Amino acid sequence: MPRLNSTRMIYLPKMSVLLLLVLSALVLSGCFHSDDDPVPVVDADPAGYYDVSGTASVGDGSGGTLMITDLQGMVNGNRFIAISDANGLVYDGTITDINVDDFTATVSVFQDGALVTTASVTGMITTGAKITGTLTGNGLGSGTFELIYALSNNQLADLSRVQLDVIDQWISRVGGSVDSSLALGFVVETAGDISHIENPGNGLFNACVIDSGIILPIAGTSLYTIAMTLANCNNASVDGDYEGLAVTRTETATDDRLVLVTSNVNFSLYGEFIISGIF
């Protein structure tokens, strides 16, 4: 009987071995799909207007707690603003970092137009829904807050929304003024230029005139940038340049409120302006 050649039975040509190796590599590489790639990390986007339904609980400066139920806010780029008209409060500052949903910021705290303290902020952003945060500081600069994203953010800013007819102006008490008949009043011209109409008659900005100013839509948002120069104020230290953000909101009729915050290092001119006839 012929003898079997065991060596011949297991021998494979070199080319066959190379082909098997190539095929094995292709099969293994096919096991890894695009679904296995890491999901890109996207930081939350806080930009927009946060309506008047926000809340806060902060120190009142006397060892007690101030409950705020009308907190509204505006965020554009790294500019962060929160305001309570009922309490004359403005939190105006800078977002310093966003890491996925978490953020940090620093804010200056103004009451009735004057700087009272500063604070650091840590919190969470839920894009298109809310911002929650904790203030670390003293008095009005300590506590917690929640801002609610406004449904009106899909209504894009446009100069036509802030321009009034020839007999109306935007008017509001500012800087702790207690008399609405002695408020700040202005109109917005066709190119966004602000024209002064009425001087505040009391408060921190008593007698101030808007020497120049401009309001312009921020493309793709419901917000406006605003800048103005104040002059002839009774308190000369208040004179100077201010810049900030503005937005319209609806109270009883479309765009019948203009929420406006302009600040510099030491002062903040804030108002929830209403439409009033020019007398």
Q: What is the CATH number of the domain that holds 187?
A: 2.40.128
Query: Could you say which of 126, 153, 180 is where a domain stops?
Result: 153
Domain co-membership, 162 together with 227: yes
| pLDDT at res. 178 | 78
- Distance, in Å, from the CA atom of 196 to the CA atom of 185, rounded to the nearest integer, reads 6
Domain co-membership, 61 together with 148: yes
Query: Could you say which of 106, 134, 153 is where a domain stops?
Result: 153
| pLDDT at res. 182 | 79
Does residue 250 sit within a domain?
Answer: yes
Domain co-membership, 176 together with 253: yes
| pLDDT at res. 181 | 65
Does residue 41 sit within a domain?
Answer: no
pLDDT-flagged residues of the chain (< 70) = 1-37, 180-181, 279
Q: What percent of the chain has pLDDT over 90?
A: 79
Domain co-membership, 161 together with 145: no
Domain co-membership, 149 together with 160: no
Does residue 242 sit within a domain?
Answer: yes
Domain co-membership, 262 together with 163: yes
Residue 204 domain boundaries = 155-277
Does residue 16 sit within a domain?
Answer: no
Quick: pLDDT tens for 59-92.
998 889 999 999 999 999 999 999 999 999 999 9
Does residue 114 sit within a domain?
Answer: yes
Does residue 42 sit within a domain?
Answer: no
Domain co-membership, 160 together with 272: yes
Query: Could you say which of 153, 179, 214 is where a domain stops?
Result: 153
In the chain, the number of structural domains is 2
What backbone phi and psi angles, to 5 degrees, belong to 170?
-90, 130
Does residue 251 sit within a domain?
Answer: yes
Structure tokens given for 97: 């970092």
Domain co-membership, 202 together with 128: no
Domain co-membership, 269 together with 161: yes
Domain co-membership, 181 together with 244: yes
| pLDDT at res. 15 | 52
pTM: 0.85
Does residue 32 sit within a domain?
Answer: no
Domain co-membership, 167 together with 246: yes
Domain co-membership, 199 together with 243: yes
